[in-house]
């Protein structure tokens, strides 16, 4: 179960290489149980040999598409459960299944969490952050997830190009209102490459967020203010652009740096607080969060109304 927990956690954090590594470790463990149960010799059925798996999953190789991870993890779990049935008592197997299913449910969407998770100053259940929901809109749990969380509005920070490539279906858009607030950091990076013949570094990208995404910030925050029901904010992975906007929201709520950093780092992968701090220093230079939002084009009345809407009782 520890192997599955690790691979699922890296799926949730959107890290394909560590996901692959831990997924394959979990397969080797499940395969070892299967071989022991059937009397096969472990050395003669290495994980790369299909006969050892019967109809079970094969190790992952080549480019990893995390859009397929839920299906891969489901096949892994079914194989693990069938292998464990020969070793565990019925009560222990039932307990193991319950724990694994809880992990599967927790991690089925990258970086999905309530804004209040690391910030008790924000009212629970009104605002979430996530990777794009298009990752799971075809999954059986999608409608129930929206119903359970009462999400009615999606604030989409992806560029127009990204949103076209991985678009919301007509069925999804009947369930949620999508607000476009594009932050196209890839276009910025392409511009740096064209001019300086180099890739933009992470600190430059966060400087771009703070100085050049004013329209998107205003659109996103006014969308949250006007949203009926709960709202979810996302980019692609729910890490950088979402992390930047989340930091603004946390600051507006009165959160301290520890809360802001804890939420930012929870997305894992290559998140580094020194990148976020580049943007936050720009905010400080403009006189703090409320002055920064005025710079973005929000009026003081809407800023106050958003603070009130977010505030925990």
CATH number at residue 285: 3.90.190.10
When pLDDT is averaged across residues 38-56 and rounded to a whole number, the result is 51
Give the end of a domain, one of 107, 142, 173.
Answer: 107
- 47 and 142 both lie in a single domain: no
* Cα–Cα distance for residue pair 46/279, rounded to 1 Å: 49
- 235 and 209 both lie in a single domain: yes
Question: Where does the pLDDT of residue 195 fall: very low under 50, low under 70, confident under 90, or very high at 90 and above?
Answer: low
Our CA angle for 22, 26, 30, nearest 5°, is 170
Question: Where does the pLDDT of residue 206 fall: very low under 50, low under 70, confident under 90, or very high at 90 and above?
Answer: very high
Domain, as residue range, for 202: 113-310
Give the end of a domain, one of 90, 107, 124.
Answer: 107
- 189 and 272 both lie in a single domain: yes
Give the end of a domain, one of 63, 85, 107.
Answer: 107
Contacts of 10 (CB under 8 A, 6+ apart): 18, 19, 21, 22, 268
Q: Is the dihedral of CA 172, 173, 179, 184 positive or negative?
A: positive
pLDDT at 190: 65
* Cα–Cα distance for residue pair 88/90, rounded to 1 Å: 6
52, pLDDT greater than 50: no
- β-pairing verdict for 113-114 and 151-156: unpaired
- 82 and 162 both lie in a single domain: no
- 170 and 301 both lie in a single domain: yes
pLDDT at 176: 97
- 130 and 85 both lie in a single domain: no
- 39 and 54 both lie in a single domain: yes
- 285 and 260 both lie in a single domain: yes
For 239, the 3-state DSSP assignment is coil
- 170 and 215 both lie in a single domain: yes
Percentage of the chain with pLDDT > 90? 55
- 141 and 253 both lie in a single domain: yes
Closest CA to 252 of 123, 149, 150: 123
User: What is the count of structural domains for the chain?
Assistant: 2
As to burial, measured by CB atoms within 10 angstroms (0-12 exposed, 13-18 middle, 19+ buried), residue 305 is middle
* Cα–Cα distance for residue pair 57/219, rounded to 1 Å: 44
When pLDDT is averaged across residues 97-110 and rounded to a whole number, the result is 85
């Amino acid at each position: 179960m520890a192997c599955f927990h690790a691979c699922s956690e890296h799926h949730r954090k959107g890290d394909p290489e560590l996901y692959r590594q831990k997924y394959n470790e979990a397969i080797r463990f499940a395969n070892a149980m299967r071989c022991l149960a059937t009397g096969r010799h472990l050395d003669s059925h290495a994980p790369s040999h299909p006969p050892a798996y019967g109809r079970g999953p094969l190790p992952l190789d080549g480019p990893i598409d995390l859009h397929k991870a839920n299906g891969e993890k489901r096949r892994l779990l079914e194989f693990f459960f069938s292998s464990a049935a020969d070793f565990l008592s019925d009560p222990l197997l039932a307990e193991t299944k319950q724990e694994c299913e809880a992990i599967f449910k927790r991690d089925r969407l990258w970086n999905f969490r309530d804004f209040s998770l690391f910030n008790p100053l924000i009212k629970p259940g009104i605002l979430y952050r996530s990777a794009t929901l298009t990752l799971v809109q075809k999954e059986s749990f999608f409608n129930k997830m929206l119903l359970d969380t009462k999400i009615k509005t999606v604030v989409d920070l992806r560029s127009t190009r990204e949103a076209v490539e991985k678009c919301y279906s007509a069925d999804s858009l009947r369930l949620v209102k999508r607000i476009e607030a594009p932050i196209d950091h890839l276009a910025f990076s392409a511009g740096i490459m064209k001019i300086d013949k180099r890739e933009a570094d992470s600190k430059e990208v966060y400087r771009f967020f703070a100085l050049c995404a004013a329209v998107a910030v205003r659109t996103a925050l006014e969308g949250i203010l006007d949203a009926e029901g709960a709202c979810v904010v996302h980019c692609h992975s729910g890490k950088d652009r979402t992390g930047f906007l989340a930091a603004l929201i946390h600051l507006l709520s009165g959160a301290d740096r520890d809360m802001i950093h804890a939420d930012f780092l929870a997305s894992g992968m290559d998140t580094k607080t020194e990148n976020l701090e580049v943007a936050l220093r720009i905010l400080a230079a403009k006189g703090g969060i409320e002055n920064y939002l005025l710079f973005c084009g929000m009026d003081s009345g809407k800023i106050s109304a958003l603070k009130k809407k977010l505030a925990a009782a």
